[in-house]
Amino acid sequence: MKPWLAPIHLEGEKIKLVPLTKNHRNRLLQAASDGKLWQLWYTSVPSSETIDSYIETALQQNQNQQSLAFVIIHKDTNTIVGTTRYCNVNIPHRRLEIGYTWYAKSFQRTGVNTECKYLLLQNAFEEYKAVAVEIRTHFHNHPSRKAIARLGAKQDGILRNHKIHKGGQLRDTVVFSIIESEWTTVKHSLEFKMKQYDS
């Protein structure tokens, strides 16, 4: 079994996932600026004012073995197009979450998300031997909810008043998951979807 949360590189046809560092700051901010993603009130995408603390928090969580943060690089253009991470990791129970995922607007609905989740899920189930992988999103983030369901994840439930945002808004969090016994079918489905994007 591969050790959990050791720095790794994951690579597919369109993208590669590389561990986040402070050197990625400016290019990550450029990706967030494509569509001014921080303006979406139901997401937590960094702006020029929050990018440094965003990265510092991610790196601190990496160091504490709570997460493993990546930048997403589009291989053809060598452009950082977003970020994602393993988070809320519970190694004794072989569970983790894929979260903090966002993409530059021009790379949304291009197949990048499908391949990104494929790489993360494949590593989680086949290398870490995870028994379950969660994906969570804001109740009001309907595009994200649809995208998660399209991956083959099933909705476990809704955590009501799960978080309080800085503006005081209460967040209901929708929890989806894929379990170990479902991975073979989900993997087949994702590989089929990726071929459709390539055709």
- Where in the chain are the domains? 10-198
pLDDT for 7 equals 94
The CATH code that applies to domain 10-198 is 3.40.630.30
What per-residue confidence (pLDDT) applies to 35?
A: 66
42-74 burial string, b = 16+ CB within 10 Å, else e? ebbbbeeeebeebbeebbebbeeeebbbbbbbb
Does residue 56 contact residue 103 with C-beta atoms inside 8 Å?
A: no
Residue-by-residue pLDDT tens, the chain, 199 positions:
888 999 999 999 999 999 999 999 999 999 988 867 565 555 678 888 899 999 999 999 999 989 999 999 999 999 999 999 999 999 999 999 999 999 998 888 788 999 999 999 999 999 999 999 999 999 998 988 998 999 999 999 999 999 897 778 898 999 999 999 999 999 999 999 999 876 5
SS3 state of residue 85: strand
Distance CA 31, CA 21 (A): 15
The pLDDT value recorded for residue 167 is: 79
Please name which of 123, 109, 1 lies closest in space to residue 68, comparing C-alpha atoms.
Answer: 123
pLDDT, position 3: 87
Say what the pLDDT of residue 38 is: 63
Give the strands of the sheet with 15-19, arranged side by side: 10-11, 15-19, 68-74, 79-90, 95-103, 132-138, 170-179, 154-164
